[in-house]
Structure 1
Amino acid sequence: MAKKVTVIKAAKAQKHTQEERRLKVCGYARVSTGSQAQATSYTAQVEYYTEKIESNPLWEFAGVYADEGISGTNVKHRDEFQMMISDCEDGNIDLILTKSITRFARNTVECIQTIRKLKEIGVGIYFEKENINTLSEKSELFITILASVAQGESENISSNNRWAIQKRFQDGTYIISTPAYGYGKDEDGNLVIIESEAETVRWIYESYLNGMGVYVIAKALNQKGIPTIRGAEKWQDGVIQDILKNPIYEGDMLQQRTYTETRFPFVRRVNNGQRNQYLIKDSHPPIVTHEEAEAVRNLMAYRVDVLHMNKSDYTKRYLFSGRIICGECGRTFRRQKIYIGKPYEKIIWTCSGHVEDKERCCLKAIREDVLHRAFTDMWNKLYTNQGTILEPLLKELTELVAARQDSEEIRQLDKEIKDISGQSQILNQVMRKGYMDSALFMESSSKLGWQLTECRRKKTLLTRKLRRTKEIVRTEQLIQLIAEQDGLMEEFDEQLFKMTAEKIVVSKEHDITFCLYNGLKLTERGGGQDAVAHANRL
């Protein structure tokens, strides 16, 4: 017997007495070079979006964001772009108008990530050339394809540029765009010495050969008020080291000291043998002699091989290196020795900010033996009171995760994700066998892709709420370490410190807070003297 179906007609939309909320719309424009033609295009785009938005009665003008002379391969270096995204997150923008996907981004991954990020907060992007609004279900597939094409275009351009530069390296005809500190360029592009900067370079070489380290040299230049390279805020020890290593100052040109990766996001890296380098001997006037440069290289090698002063390992040279944080200015502490050679020689740790400027940071140095004693006291109190600190904490964390109602939602989302993935596989099989029209396939595939993205987004949000497992594991490890101890710690245990403490924060009053890996903060008052430890869970 056929079932009787009654159609209940949809209610007519009620007329709104209030005026519908106007969309806050902005425009985004970008040109990738600083030429006159592109500058004209840049101005025209700004004027175009301003007029277009303001002329629409349903739109509220939210400004025009425009990056001039910036490449689109990486969004990190586009200030206006980042400001626009921030304004979207603050609720100041509902819709972004832009010319095309190539103007928005030429990196497929970052393009899709940005689009999805904005979709999550209800902000759409309308690409005029492609006639795509990212808030529609069909947009994801088309944008992925078009963004991939745009990325391929950028990769081809980058590949051609690399080939041309490589050829000029081999021919010796490459002209550097920005000369090193101490040099300028004449009308023909040849390097010429800038004497005022060259005096500083000679002083750096002379000081290093006389025993000064790169950190001390940088500090001295800052104190003298010597202008820095390309207007930087202050001299850094890494800059000094680069000057000492660069053969350009002895008149030799070493080309391709850095290189750009062949894939997105085209990151520039120091060439440590990954690419060919090209050395041109005596290519320009020297600032220092070959003998001075050779002496500097020998001294550097001696310091690395004999004194183990390799820059890359320096921050990990001592147990507390990079782990002690100033509670006043947030800088890390540096290791120093006082009363050297005397029976009461001591090792102290001093805030880097205090060393540079005592007025900006007034936190005084702290002795290393005080840190040792504070950790020993803290550990012994934790050992004695584990039953009132660690075990209740572990129980609370475990119950918190188990009691989450979100866990059931995540299981449901996992089931939906699995079902959608299965539907997608079936759809692909049907398409391969020729049982479906290509247009219908693209529409269905795009819809499934959109549903899959939504499920994964919801799961990500719920999973963030449940990320307590790391704290649970670390707390269990801490309890196990205590169980393995025979009794109270009599002397500072370096290995135990490495396994339990992530960092140390020292306050103005020299209260020492040990931030443990499981999220506990344990404080020794006044540097461990008459201290009472207390715990605060992060």
Structure 2
Amino acid sequence: MKRRKEKGGHHSGTTCFSSKIVCGECGNFYGSKVWHSTSKYRRAIWQCNHKFKGSAKCGTPHFAEATLKQSFLNAFNQLITNKEEIMENCEIIKKVLTDTADLNSEAEKLQGEIVVVTELIRQCVEENAHSIIDQAQYQQRYNGLVARYEKAKEKLEKTEELRQARRVKREQLDAFISTLLRQDSVLTEFDETLWFAIADKVTVYASDNIQFTFRDGTVIEA
């Protein structure tokens, strides 16, 4: 969702390729377009959404969905020829990139900090309510504690985002490995379920240079 927002894309739900194909020249998403919609020459193609929006037109090509599907088949069949090596690499990647031990420790410290500061703020407010205190000093102390609280809260939110991202990455890699284990023959027909399970994105540079990035980080030109 974050990547779609950054690239100005959206997911319409009408096709499995929405927000998955990236222009290698400008970085924007490809979108589905219909040419000659009211004539017998009607044709659906995929094209960079930003192709004609800038001062300079993107040079990346348009192509039919059938071309994309065939390219995916080619890339996937290349992938399974190195299945054992790729699965070993996936296990290494999981250990390095999805471990949350350090983040768990950081989150615990930040939660403790928030509890402490919350109590200090409560005491500060209570003391001001029951004692004669210089209000300028009180406000300075109070503002300092609130700033400390907000800083800890912001750090905790970022830590939680990183923890969630690592958990999602682990789930994706587990699904990727499971899919590879089940596939023991060359793929001859496009499988949408398989596409969702293992494909991360497609980057188009030229008609003869379409690169598929799989969920384990493997990039194959098809």
Give your verdict on TM over 0.5: yes
Using the alignment, how far apart are the partners of 2:125 and 2:172 within structure 1?
45
Structure 1 gap segments, 5+ residues each: 1-311, 526-538
Within 5 Å, give how 1:235-384 maps onto structure 2: 316-331=13-28, 332-336=30-34, 348-351=45-48, 360-384=57-81
Structure 2 gap segments, 5+ residues each: 1-9
Using the alignment, how far apart are the partners of 1:445 and 1:356 within structure 2?
51
- Amino acid paired to 2:180: I
Using the alignment, how far apart are the partners of 1:470 and 1:321 within structure 2?
20
Using the alignment, how far apart are the partners of 2:131 and 2:84 within structure 1?
66
Other structure's SS at 1:474 match: helix
> How many residue pairs were aligned?
206
Within 5 Å, give how 1:171-186 maps onto structure 2: none
Within 5 Å, give how 1:201-220 maps onto structure 2: none
Using the alignment, how far apart are the partners of 2:72 and 2:104 within structure 1?
38
- The partner residue of 2:118 within 421, 426, 435 is 421
Using the alignment, how far apart are the partners of 2:205 and 2:195 within structure 1?
20
Asked whether the 8 Å contact 1:478–1:500 carries over to 2, the reply is: yes
User: Aligned residue for 2:202?
Assistant: 504
Q: How far does the alpha carbon of each residue in 1:146-203 deviate from its partner, in whole angstroms, 9 at most, with x for none?
A: xxxxxxxxxxxxxxxxxxxxxxxxxxxxxxxxxxxxxxxxxxxxxxxxxxxxxxxxxx
Using the alignment, how far apart are the partners of 2:85 and 2:27 within structure 1?
32
Q: How far does the alpha carbon of each residue in 1:80-117 deviate from its partner, in whole angstroms, 9 at most, with x for none?
A: xxxxxxxxxxxxxxxxxxxxxxxxxxxxxxxxxxxxxx
The alignment status of 1:478 with 2:196, answered yes or no, reads no
Q: How far does the alpha carbon of each residue in 1:387-443 deviate from its partner, in whole angstroms, 9 at most, with x for none?
A: 322442343343455497676455333322222223334445556xx5334636545
**Shift of residue 492, structure 1, vs aligned partner:** 0.3
Asked whether the 8 Å contact 1:373–1:492 carries over to 2, the reply is: yes
User: Aligned residue for 2:130?
Assistant: 435
Identity of aligned residues (%): 21
Q: How far does the alpha carbon of each residue in 1:352-374 deviate from its partner, in whole angstroms, 9 at most, with x for none?
A: 566789x8334333343232122
- Amino acid paired to 2:85: T
**Shift of residue 375, structure 1, vs aligned partner:** 1.2
Using the alignment, how far apart are the partners of 1:414 and 1:318 within structure 2?
42
Other structure's SS at 2:89 match: helix
Task: Kindly name which structure, 1 or 2, has the bigger radius of gyration based on alpha carbons.
Answer: 1
- Say what the alpha-carbon RMSD is for the aligned residues: 4.2
- The partner residue of 1:495 within 186, 193, 200 is 193
Asked whether the 8 Å contact 1:337–1:347 carries over to 2, the reply is: yes
Within 5 Å, give how 1:34-45 maps onto structure 2: none
Of structures 1 and 2, the one scoring higher in RCO (CA 8 A, sep 6+) is: 2
Using the alignment, how far apart are the partners of 2:61 and 2:98 within structure 1?
43
Q: Could you say if the C-alpha distance between residues 442 and 350 of structure 1 is closer, same or farther in structure 2, counting changes exceeding 3 Å?
A: closer
